[in-house]
A = this chain, B = another copy of it.
Amino acid sequence: MPTITVENYLKQIYLLQRGGELAPMGGLAVAVGVTPGTATSMVKTLADANLADYEPRAGVRLTEAGTRLALQVLRRHRLIELFLVQTLGLDWSEVHDEAEELEHAISDKVLEKIDTLLGHPDTDPHGDPIPPPTGSPRQEKLTPLNDCAPDTTAQIARVRDQEPAFLRFVDKHGLTPGTHFTVESQNPSADAITVRPHNREPVTLGLAAAGKIMVKVVE
């Protein structure tokens, strides 16, 4: 059984690896909230335990075993988030931090009860895919909102930020996962995009913020 610290490293490495092959050490240190030196020595420990491959001055990559553990942690995290929102009625802006703690304490037995209670969902409140008990989560091809041309109609799929303030903003303007909307205008010079969620007032947001929102374009 990995320690809480190890679980956190594995999870963060997994998330940093998305896209790139190697997770950079610097990013990892920031992600787990430790100094670079700590990250280096911990990653060496992970490598000794065959959970990761470490390439000095290049980065770190999870092994098969490490990936499996990371996905289990992610599954716990995301199921807990959904549970907190759906069953206990917490606000989606605050569940991330709660889940961060609970994901290390919950047993498989309880987790599967929750999974059943929720009807085996496949995404959490932020639209992030919930990995299945074994194997990898399915990957959908999503488009960042800032890449959407005017008049595009699409559906919000995923909000990639856990900042409570941002999440509250998103919620307030109805841009939560599942919402359909149309792009009213897109202006790179102004660094802004305006979208109109169906049945809502239009919202304008900066392209940086829009980049954190992933959408599924409606054909």
Contacts and interface: CB of A to CB of B under 8 A. Distances in A.
Interface in A128-156: none
A88 B105 contact: no
B102 A90 contact: no
Task: State how many copies of this chain the complex holds.
Answer: 2
A104 interface: yes
Interface stretch (A51-59, A108-116, A186-194): A108-116
A105 B113 CA distance: 18
B113 A90 contact: yes
B101 A88 contact: no
A117 interface: yes
Interface string A96-128: 001001101111011001100100000000000
Contacts of A110: 84, 88, 90, 98, 102
B107 A98 contact: yes
A53 to B, nearest CB: 31
B114 A88 contact: yes
Nearest to A101: B105
A90 B94 CA distance: 27
Nearest to A113: B88
Nearest to A112: B88
Interface of A: 84, 87-90, 94, 98, 101-102, 104-107, 109-110, 113-114, 117
6 nearest A-B residue pairs (beta carbon): A105-B105, A88-B113, A101-B105, A102-B105, A98-B107, A98-B110
